[in-house]
């Protein structure tokens, strides 16, 4: 058994104040699990000037700000030195330095760990940030074990969907995991199989476990919706960052083919990357047209839209797990999604599956569902895996 647990929260630090994505939610779930455990817990964060170490008290203070329960502090002088960083990151780094039990320059990481952590820790990296040679080697030299969550291998399988310059760093991180990790945590059997194919080519496949993500949904709240957003006729929703992999272009094409009076389509998500044509098409939409782009809605508002929709649509070309369609099913929505093996495994046959090459089936289903809307609030037909089950798998033998 490990002497203590060390959670890397660098991703949460760097994304403080931003829109929460699926991986952000996973890292936050690990933070909650660590804080709710009886273990001796710590967090490691990489700042602009080196590493910061938090104990349980500092982790709790960081979580309160992440969840909006307390305000971030004003940036201190050190946080204002590096240029090109947003106010939220400056404030977050100010907070973690103030709460740190230790800080060090990059080259002194090993000394800091030896001085302030018990030997034989279990280091968890869930967000892939700070997944560096220095960190992994120092953990190993301290007698610790390395546990890395691999969410997907999409950057290597579909480099065409990625931001410019991100594929090579991702490959290098995964090769470090292959070479140095004591255990890899996968969110699905499909992800494990895909990851291990690459790792076999690289020379080492670390021990691994499959632990599906916990699927939780916010309580739907129509009062959280802006005035006039909720359509007065059957409508459809899609949830997710507007980036090429999510295939919003397919939905825009469908709506052009649905005829002169298609049902409303609500696109809920922030704009991502490498999607100029889709952004151009969205910018050209009129305010009174059937398609509306909704950014920055809180989770209860999105849950209300999903629950009352005629259906939730997910034509993604690749997924590591598929939280949005699982959450939509838990809210009682009908779900139509691309026929991906990982989604069939996670959604247990509760969704309607069709390849995006079968445009006629998508159009027929949308027309059928639009003409036969469900009750205002539907009955849940899907119960997803829980975080409790996830952590029973991940932490019980750590």
Indicate if the alpha-carbon torsion angle 95, 39, 31, 83 is positive or negative: positive
pLDDT in tens, 151-189: 999 999 999 988 889 999 999 999 999 999 999 999 999
Contact assessment for residue 44 and residue 53, using Cβ atoms and an 8 Å cutoff: yes
Q: Distance between CA atoms of 369 and 66, rounded to whole angstroms?
A: 38
pLDDT in tens, 69-91: 999 999 998 888 888 788 999 99
Numbers of helices and strands, H then E, in the chain: 16, 14
What does residue 137 show for φ and ψ, rounded to 5 degrees?
-65, -40
Q: Looking at residue 377, what is its pLDDT?
A: 52
Q: How confident is the model at residue 19 (pLDDT cuts 50, 70, 90)?
A: confident
Give one word for 144, left, alpha or beta, with left for phi > 0 and alpha for psi -120 to 50. beta
Q: Looking at residue 323, what is its pLDDT?
A: 92
- Domains and their CATH numbers in the chain: 5-214+387-395 (3.40.50), 222-371 (3.40.50.2000)
| Percentage with pLDDT > 70 across the chain | 98
Q: What is the number of other CB atoms lying within 10 angstroms of the CB of residue 357?
A: 10
Average the pLDDT over 286-314 and give the result. 93
Q: Distance between CA atoms of 100 and 114, rounded to whole angstroms?
A: 16
Instruction: Please tell me the pTM assigned to this model.
Output: 0.91
Asked whether the predicted pLDDT for residue 386 surpasses 90, the reply is: yes
Q: Looking at residue 325, what is its pLDDT?
A: 96
Q: How confident is the model at residue 396 (pLDDT cuts 50, 70, 90)?
A: confident
Q: Looking at residue 378, what is its pLDDT?
A: 58
| Alpha helices (H) along the chain | 10-14, 22-35, 56-66, 87-99, 109-116, 133-141, 154-157, 167-180, 189-202, 248-257, 276-283, 299-307, 323-330, 341-347, 359-371, 387-395
Q: Looking at residue 369, what is its pLDDT?
A: 96
In order, the DSSP letters of 222-256 are GGGSPTT-S-SS--EEEES-BSGGG-HHHHHHHHH
Contact assessment for residue 158 and residue 167, using Cβ atoms and an 8 Å cutoff: no
Spatial CB neighbours of 356, under 8 Å, sequence gap ≥ 6:
247, 250, 315, 317, 338, 362
pLDDT in tens, 301-329: 999 999 999 999 999 999 999 999 999 99
Q: How confident is the model at residue 376 (pLDDT cuts 50, 70, 90)?
A: low
């Amino acid at each position: 058994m490990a002497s203590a647990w060390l959670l890397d929260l660098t991703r949460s630090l760097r994304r403080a104040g931003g829109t929460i994505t699926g991986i952000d939610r996973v890292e936050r779930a690990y933070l909650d699990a660590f804080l709710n455990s009886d273990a001796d817990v710590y967090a490691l964060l990489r700042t602009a000037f080196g590493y910061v170490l938090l104990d349980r008290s500092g982790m709790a203070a960081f979580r309160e700000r992440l969840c909006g329960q307390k305000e971030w502090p004003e940036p201190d002088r050190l946080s204002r030195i590096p240029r090109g960083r947003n106010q939220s990151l400056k404030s977050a780094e100010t907070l973690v330095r103030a709460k740190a039990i230790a800080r060090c320059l990059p080259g002194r990481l090993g000394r800091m760990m030896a001085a302030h952590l018990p030997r034989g820790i279990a280091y968890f990296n869930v967000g892939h940030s700070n997944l560096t040679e220095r960190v992994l080697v120092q953990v190993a030299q301290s007698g610790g074990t390395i546990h890395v969550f691999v969410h997907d291998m999409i950057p290597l399988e579909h480099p065409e969907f990625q931001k410019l310059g991100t594929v090579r760093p991702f490959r290098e991180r995964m090769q470090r995991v292959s070479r140095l990790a004591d255990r890899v945590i996968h969110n699905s059997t499909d992800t494990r199989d895909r990851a291990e194919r690459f790792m076999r080519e690289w020379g080492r496949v670390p021990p691994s476990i499959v632990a599906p993500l916990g699927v939780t949904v916010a309580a739907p709240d129509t009062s959280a919706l802006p005035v006039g957003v909720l359509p007065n006729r059957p409508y459809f929703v899609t949830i997710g960052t507007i980036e090429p992999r999510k295939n919003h272009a397919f939905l825009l094409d469908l709506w052009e083919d649905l005829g002169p009076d298609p049902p409303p389509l609500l696109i809920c998500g922030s704009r991502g990357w490498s999607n100029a044509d889709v952004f151009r098409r969205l910018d050209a939409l009129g305010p009174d047209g059937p398609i509306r782009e909704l950014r920055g809605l809180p989770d209860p508002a999105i849950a209300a839209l999903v629950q009352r929709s005629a259906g939730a649509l997910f034509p993604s070309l690749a997924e590591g797990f598929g939280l949005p369609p699982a959450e939509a099913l838990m809210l009682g929505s009908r779900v139509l999604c691309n026929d991906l093996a990982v989604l069939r495994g996670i959604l247990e046959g509760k969704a309607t599956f069709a390849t995006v090459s079968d445009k006629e089936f998508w159009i027929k289903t949308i027309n059928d569902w639009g003409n036969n809307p469900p009750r205002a609030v539907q009955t849940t037909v899907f119960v997803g895996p829980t975080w409790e089950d996830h952590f029973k798998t991940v932490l019980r033998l750590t």
